[in-house]
Chains A and B, each alone.
Chain A
């Protein structure tokens, strides 16, 4: 009997899990080093968030192991409903290049790296804090995301498709969205075994509202002076994906208190002439903070962003007129659809106004627009946004990138040149 040469002691899948864990740890370590150690003036309170980033890797941490967890793949999923039904929402939009490389086996080469990365994570079944999601709620937002349930990975978690309208202005789209949420509630009630009650939903709305208040407070502080790096705000926003919401809100409150002291004492992280940048486009998610870190390493300061992984997360509010389910549910539906500036909705003129308004409110000198390779929606909007910004006299730099660290050289040349041109305009220097 001949020996089977291809007999492996461990299956390829097990090897993949092991290797990806190693890659992930390396990626996290590298990213944290860049984000934390290479920058001065990090606020004390940020260390909670830096440390918590390792929740993914910490096998000892089982905070979510015995909890009902509902995974979400998009900002459109109403988290208040998940809380009200006694479960915890876990956003699985991923930023790891290690997972991107795994996901690449299941998806076309030019596909969105965020979706590839999420697929990769699902395939190796690695969730933070021992979480075991019962369901993945997947809105039909962008094309690649919409098709995620069709990808055959080793994941056995059920996908639930949350139907999202492609427009938000028409009556039809508004009633479609309400119906979709009603169906979502029914599905979730079945999954969790709980009923949606008025009391629980009110409490859930208030719970998220506390987080929203602190987040708004952070942005009011940011307007008063450059007291915190943009990369820190993006990082702590990313940690909202998996952090316990009460803990997150408490820590953010501590951070806000610390930053208010900085404002009073004029302790800034950059000099007055540092170019102020508004960052927008495909979302940067830890550990892929390549673009924000690069911008701030090159001397810029990100004063605000328009990412669904960051500043857009907790911005929009829920206004309930009568605290009964018949009004709370439509109020929630409105929060997620009406003010949304995601390019998967058409028309998206609200985004133009939001960018211009944000640039003015935060005194941004310029906008950096990043699009991931394969992100058709953000790529398409870039031309319109560039024109609109030009009409308002706001310069814009468009960069195309993905999770691959190989393009750092090219990116840095572009970003550096852009920041230099902004600096020159600020100091009004001219030669010849």
Chain B
């Protein structure tokens, strides 16, 4: 048992994750062609606008589920919302936020864009502390709107008139998944502006803007969209009860900051927080790059249903971040080099 644990602690988790991402992408994007349906309540993006999709992301179901009157919540129609939420939770709890890091097709696309940037040798950008703290609330605002607008379409919120039904599933109108994912089934059908009325013009234009921002943003900032993602915000609300967990032993932490520096999203709290045990923050996608980069033994730990499966180790760190090629230092003085040249 210990031998297996030891092997896992030294493994290249990032490579494993890339493989899972590719497999998940194929399954989610094209599984539909093989008549596979995973669920209509998946805890990642899986867009029905992409024709081969093997399922639907929960946000659609959630928005439709909330598009009912207050009275309906106590009736069988409200039932649809509750069961939808429970099924979502059932899927979610198993893998916690690692749905984001290992499965989400939008996440995978961003990671591939990052790989392209790396090939070109272009530097990435990071948010500084202040900006990070300000921007992280956006995802909760988006989630809030995602919940309130459908409710506001069937009910009067705060004495306002009902919102226009043209808003439909409002988040889907602006979601980058709707515009980006169909591209992978060869379809640009979602890249249009709907001139039907002012609401549709506004929403579809916003959708195009977000599409462009998504592409450019994720080129320069690793996992750009995830910082604003309402699915991430929704998941975080339930993250504490997930079976897959990541914890930290703060007393062992040397504040070296390796974890936050390799974090694609740039979460400084992994390093800064030396008191909390549960270290998964709202932006975290549980990709475990931080665990791979932590050089202290048993500081960052991943467990499933209480069984430890991956621990940070110094050995593991060196295996992943160090190369044992020999190095030739050219430290001869100028005189000696000149002399050697003369002799050659």
Is there a chain A Cβ closer than 8 Å to B344's Cβ? no
Is there a chain B Cβ closer than 8 Å to A216's Cβ? yes
Is there a chain B Cβ closer than 8 Å to A7's Cβ? no
Are A338 and B118 in contact, with the CB atoms below 8 A?
no
Identify the closest chain B residue to A203 (Cβ): B327
Are A339 and B251 in contact, with the CB atoms below 8 A?
no
Docked CA distance A213–B10 (Å): 14
Within 8 A of B (CB), among A185-237: 193, 202-204, 206-207, 209-210, 212-213, 216, 220
The residues of A that contact B255 with a CB separation of less than 8 Å are 338-339, 350
Are A86 and B329 in contact, with the CB atoms below 8 A?
yes
Is there a chain A Cβ closer than 8 Å to B322's Cβ? yes
Stretch at the interface among B55-63, B105-113, B120-128: B120-128
Is there a chain B Cβ closer than 8 Å to A334's Cβ? yes
Docked CA distance A136–B252 (Å): 35
Stretch at the interface among A29-37, A113-121, A295-303, A353-361: A353-361
Stretch at the interface among B73-81, B193-201, B239-247, B313-321: B313-321
Residue from B262, B321, B334 in contact with A209 in the complex, judged by beta carbons closer than 8 Å: B321
Is there a chain B Cβ closer than 8 Å to A270's Cβ? no
Docked CA distance A86–B257 (Å): 28
Within 8 A of B (CB), among A317-354: 317-322, 324, 326-327, 330-331, 334-335, 338-339, 350, 353-354
Are A210 and B274 in contact, with the CB atoms below 8 A?
no
Mark interface residues in B117-139 (1 if CB within 8 Å of A CB, else 0).
01001011000111000000000
Is there a chain B Cβ closer than 8 Å to A102's Cβ? no
The residues of A that contact B321 with a CB separation of less than 8 Å are 209, 317-320
The residues of B that contact A362 with a CB separation of less than 8 Å are none
The residues of A that contact B314 with a CB separation of less than 8 Å are 216, 220
Docked CA distance A331–B258 (Å): 8
Are B327 and A334 in contact, with the CB atoms below 8 A?
no
Are A334 and B256 in contact, with the CB atoms below 8 A?
yes
Are A321 and B261 in contact, with the CB atoms below 8 A?
yes
Known: A86-B330, A206-B322, A317-B256. A356 touches B251 (CB 8 A): yes
Is there a chain B Cβ closer than 8 Å to A66's Cβ? yes
Are A321 and B334 in contact, with the CB atoms below 8 A?
no
Known: A324-B121, A338-B257, A357-B252. A67 touches B324 (CB 8 A): no
The residues of A that contact B118 with a CB separation of less than 8 Å are 322, 324
Is there a chain A Cβ closer than 8 Å to B325's Cβ? yes
Is there a chain B Cβ closer than 8 Å to A88's Cβ? yes
Is there a chain A Cβ closer than 8 Å to B293's Cβ? yes
The residues of A that contact B327 with a CB separation of less than 8 Å are 83, 203-204, 206-207, 246
Identify the closest chain A residue to B124 (Cβ): A322
Known: A83-B329, A206-B324. A316 touches B251 (CB 8 A): no
Is there a chain B Cβ closer than 8 Å to A55's Cβ? no
The residues of B that contact A334 with a CB separation of less than 8 Å are 256-258, 261
The residues of B that contact A335 with a CB separation of less than 8 Å are 256
A interface, over-half SS: helix
Identify the closest chain B residue to A132 (Cβ): B333
Identify the closest chain A residue to B336 (Cβ): A66
The residues of B that contact A316 with a CB separation of less than 8 Å are 254, 256
Most A CB atoms within 10 A — which of B257, B317, B325? B257
Docked CA distance A388–B11 (Å): 38
Most A CB atoms within 10 A — which of B252, B314, B334? B314
Interface residues on B, range: 35 or more
Is there a chain B Cβ closer than 8 Å to A406's Cβ? no
B337 to chain A, nearest CB (A): 10
Is there a chain B Cβ closer than 8 Å to A38's Cβ? no
Are B334 and A193 in contact, with the CB atoms below 8 A?
yes
Within 8 A of A (CB), among B255-273: 255-258, 261-262, 271
Known: A212-B318, A339-B254, A339-B256. A330 touches B329 (CB 8 A): no
Is there a chain B Cβ closer than 8 Å to A87's Cβ? yes
Is there a chain A Cβ closer than 8 Å to B295's Cβ? yes
Are B336 and A209 in contact, with the CB atoms below 8 A?
no
Within 8 A of B (CB), among A156-182: 171
Identify the closest chain A residue to B331 (Cβ): A67
Are B322 and A209 in contact, with the CB atoms below 8 A?
yes
Docked CA distance A330–B254 (Å): 18
Identify the closest chain A residue to B339 (Cβ): A66
Most A CB atoms within 10 A — which of B118, B255, B325? B255
Within 8 A of A (CB), among B79-121: 118, 121
Docked CA distance A339–B254 (Å): 6
Is there a chain B Cβ closer than 8 Å to A123's Cβ? no
The residues of A that contact B254 with a CB separation of less than 8 Å are 315-316, 339, 350, 354
The residues of A that contact B257 with a CB separation of less than 8 Å are 334, 338-339
Residue from B124, B258, B324, B336 in contact with A317 in the complex, judged by beta carbons closer than 8 Å: B258
Residue from B123, B289, B317 in contact with A326 in the complex, judged by beta carbons closer than 8 Å: B123
Is there a chain B Cβ closer than 8 Å to A68's Cβ? yes
Docked CA distance A53–B331 (Å): 22
Docked CA distance A209–B295 (Å): 12
B314 to chain A, nearest CB (A): 5
Within 8 A of A (CB), among B276-334: 289, 293, 295, 314, 317-318, 321-327, 329-334
Residue from B262, B317, B330 in contact with A321 in the complex, judged by beta carbons closer than 8 Å: B262
Residue from A67, A206, A210 in contact with B332 in the complex, judged by beta carbons closer than 8 Å: A67
Docked CA distance A327–B255 (Å): 19
Known: A317-B317, A334-B256, A338-B255. A171 touches B322 (CB 8 A): no
Are A86 and B331 in contact, with the CB atoms below 8 A?
yes
B327 to chain A, nearest CB (A): 4
The residues of B that contact A338 with a CB separation of less than 8 Å are 255-257, 271
Docked CA distance A203–B325 (Å): 8
The residues of A that contact B334 with a CB separation of less than 8 Å are 193
Known: A88-B331, A331-B261. A206 touches B130 (CB 8 A): no
Docked CA distance A326–B118 (Å): 11
The residues of B that contact A339 with a CB separation of less than 8 Å are 254-257
Within 8 A of B (CB), among A352-381: 353-354, 356-357
For the complex of A and B, list the 4 residue pairs with the smallest distance between their C-beta atoms, beginning with the closest: A319-B258, A326-B123, A339-B256, A209-B322
Contacts A86-B331, A171-B129, A319-B258 aside, 6 further interface pairs with beta carbons under 8 A come to A203-B325, A206-B322, A209-B322, A213-B322, A246-B327, A350-B254
A–B pairs, 23, beta carbons within 8 Å = A67-B332, A68-B333, A86-B329, A206-B322, A209-B322, A246-B327, A317-B317, A318-B321, A319-B261, A319-B262, A319-B317, A319-B321, A321-B289, A324-B121, A324-B123, A331-B261, A334-B257, A334-B261, A335-B256, A339-B256, A339-B257, A350-B255, A354-B254
Which B positions have Cβ atoms within 8 angstroms of A?
Answer: 118, 121, 123-124, 128-130, 251-258, 261-262, 271, 274, 289, 293, 295, 314, 317-318, 321-327, 329-336
